[in-house]
Structure 1
């Protein structure tokens, strides 16, 4: 059995993955288990706290603190774990296009993901895109439909050397985000985190959200709406009627320890029940 560094071993224990050689199979198991175990959530920016941007602080929160986070945290944690396991990784930054038409204005560079070089080719790994996150590594090839346990994805080439990730939805292929292959320095992620935490128009600042992707369903929280989407096509929606009910869902459905988040219920009442 391959022995992982202590910090990596703790992470793998958190998500329930046995370490092994740094190959595509292990990468796929890590990505699948991560998105099923560590939730996406924006409770720090929602309550006007600065999310951590240092790797050790992110691990303390997501691995040890029974919290989740957003892309800057999830994909920093994954990047560092993969690097320490022996993968060849490159941090990338992209522009979110989810819900936008192709001719909509350019968005800011506020999504983190990881390029991984494997013996079977180049793939991307992303565990921080909320309710439509790919639950498997995706080969970086144009035009090939890549099925996963929760929907199909494909890449297409964009302008000026960019790549566009698309997901097949009920209305056809929908863009998720665009990115190029230029390695992103830490300052880009620090700036993106600062911007989305502090800008008055940031959705992360103004509406609570959470998500995870289990084997047979995805769960998402948008404001006070809890949605469960099952792999067999069934959907359940629940309108939560109080701030305490939302907090209860964050705890019970998403497994988030909210005890240390000062002012959470007051912020929920202010934004969603006033």
Structure 2
């Protein structure tokens, strides 16, 4: 990797290079989730401009887009680019596909020869640190009413990922092998499927940003804006129009340059009006 590439990434994260360690990995993850939003604005515009699929996981495209308009991406962009950063910093690991259309990272723990760590900055779940695989049930500390569990299966390396909110399972369970290593090119069929006309992120507006240090998470799903606090309290607001959406992204998310107007136009051109009451 070129020094320019690496320096740009670390500058955006406000980090300096260090030898690989679990502590440094945690710092990288926390910096990543508070800097790069999980959003589909950039994805909608990629679809509009018919950009090639390789741009989705290209780190130069990713960094330039963020420097220009404060964008991030969905799981394929966020985790693929983080993985390239980790490799450039000397971490070892591989990509995995824990869910049908999801990408995550397995990293070898620099401080323990045989321990593997689960890393995922491309999720709307509150994952702020590497999760160690011990071969036994692991529950992540609750945050904003949400909790994650990793349940070991009958075979070595098999785990089931469960996400709950207020004690209720909120998403499909994912069962996967931590040893099923993949590279970015292997994900192309699933990346392509997320650009199909009927795909979820082609028919909605989505933006999520975690602020671990402030113990809160910001979420925008179409016209519904939600703030979740670490203690479980929730504030939800219905946004009446495009100006209100733009204001929330500027004032709360601190992303005034995110091209949401263009994304909303793209949705409307496709027949999707997020403000429709019918």
Would the aligned equivalents of 1:88 and 1:117 in 2 still touch at CA under 8 Å? yes
Q: Distance in 1 between matches of 2:187 and 2:63?
A: 16
Would the aligned equivalents of 2:39 and 2:72 in 1 still touch at CA under 8 Å? yes
Give deviations 1:77-101, integer Å, cap 9, x for gaps.
Answer: 1100100100002011121xxxxxx
Q: Distance in 1 between matches of 2:158 and 2:69?
A: 36
Alpha carbons of 1:196 and 1:53: their partners in 2 closer, same or farther (altered >3 Å)?
A: same
Q: Does 1:8 align with 2:6?
A: yes
Give deviations 1:89-117, integer Å, cap 9, x for gaps.
Answer: 2011121xxxxxxxxxxxxx311111000
> Which ranges of 4 or more aligned residues in structure 1 deviate by more than 6 Å?
none
Alpha carbons of 1:68 and 1:254: their partners in 2 closer, same or farther (altered >3 Å)?
A: farther
Q: Does 1:157 align with 2:147?
A: no
Could you list the runs of 5+ residues in structure 1 that have no partner in the other structure? 96-108
State the TM-score, normalized to the length of structure 2.
0.81
Among 104, 108, 113, which residue is 1:117 paired with? 108
Q: Does 1:272 align with 2:274?
A: yes
Would the aligned equivalents of 1:22 and 1:87 in 2 still touch at CA under 8 Å? yes
User: Hey, which of these two has a bigger chunk of strand by percent?
Assistant: 1
Alpha carbons of 1:159 and 1:185: their partners in 2 closer, same or farther (altered >3 Å)?
A: farther
Q: Distance in 2 between matches of 1:22 and 1:253?
A: 33
Alpha carbons of 1:177 and 1:36: their partners in 2 closer, same or farther (altered >3 Å)?
A: farther
Q: Does 1:85 align with 2:89?
A: yes
Q: Does 1:207 align with 2:204?
A: yes
Alpha carbons of 1:21 and 1:64: their partners in 2 closer, same or farther (altered >3 Å)?
A: farther
State the TM-score, normalized to the length of structure 1.
0.82
Alignment: residue pair count: 255
Could you list the runs of 5+ residues in structure 2 that have no partner in the other structure? none
SS at match of 1:147: coil
Q: Distance in 2 between matches of 1:176 and 1:14?
A: 34
Would the aligned equivalents of 1:75 and 1:126 in 2 still touch at CA under 8 Å? yes
Q: Distance in 2 between matches of 1:94 and 1:267?
A: 30
SS at match of 1:213: strand
SS at match of 2:87: helix
Among 32, 35, 49, which residue is 1:34 paired with? 32
